[in-house]
Amino acid sequence: MDDRPGDGGCRYCAAGKAEAATEAAGGTPSRRRDRDAQGKARNARPRDGLGRPLPYGTPGVARQPEGVVRPPHASLAEAQRLLDEGMPFHAHEVLEDAWKAAPEPERELWRGLAQLAVGLTHAARGNATGGAALLDRGAAALAPYANTAPYGIDIAGLTAWARELTRGRRQPPQAPVPAAATAPRLRR
């Protein structure tokens, strides 16, 4: 920690001594709050294919870099690749970047796609209630684009897919769905 006074503790949270002792003994120090180079809080724990945090030091799935601005077709292609590989959480991150970078008239389109991906994430984790809610919201956000189908996005197909996936899955407990086998096609 950068703010350790001479006694080895953090002046903000009193951490440091135990962490230093653990390190000295060859163990892995506990982590209070991960931060990026700009000091922004970032969880650096490795993640599995569904975005669930794993213990520090465990091999995980490479995370998607944040804030990548891609052309719409590239965003859709990368998101589809991740969906096909059973990583809807990671596809959600790609679609979220597209949403944040999109011109105002398209923001709801990209937000809806991101919500569908994270809805599938919840369904694959076994969270029936959360999955259904996000899939419903995502489908509703896409509905206004049904007549235009920007970038060849299969609005009707995605909406039908979301309805089918939520049918009968609103009440827990529900078995997790297989992410890759359940993933939708984003474009016609």
- Residue 37's pLDDT is 77
- Residue 4's pLDDT is 39
pLDDT higher than threshold 90 for residue 31: no
100 in any annotated domain: yes
164 in any annotated domain: yes
Domains contained in the chain, number: 1
| Rounded Cα–Cα distance for residues 102 and 107 (Å) | 6
pLDDT higher than threshold 80 for residue 11: no
173 in any annotated domain: yes
pLDDT higher than threshold 90 for residue 162: yes
pLDDT higher than threshold 60 for residue 17: no
112 in any annotated domain: yes
CB-CB contact of 187 with 74 (8 Å): no
- Residue 32's pLDDT is 62
84 lies in which domain range? 72-182
- Residue 41's pLDDT is 66
45 in any annotated domain: no
49 in any annotated domain: no
Give 116-149 pLDDT, tens digit per residue: 999 999 999 999 899 999 999 999 999 999 999 9
Give 33-68 pLDDT, tens digit per residue: 677 777 776 678 889 989 899 999 899 888 888 889
- Residue 93's pLDDT is 95
DSSP label of 49: T
Which two structure tokens, joined as six digits, stand for 127? Answer: 């969270």
4 in any annotated domain: no
| CATH number of the domain within which 114 lies | 1.10.3450
Closest CA to 158 of 121, 131, 126, 185: 185
146 in any annotated domain: yes
Confidence grade of residue 155 (pLDDT, cut at 50, 70, 90): very high
pLDDT higher than threshold 90 for residue 7: no
pLDDT higher than threshold 70 for residue 18: no
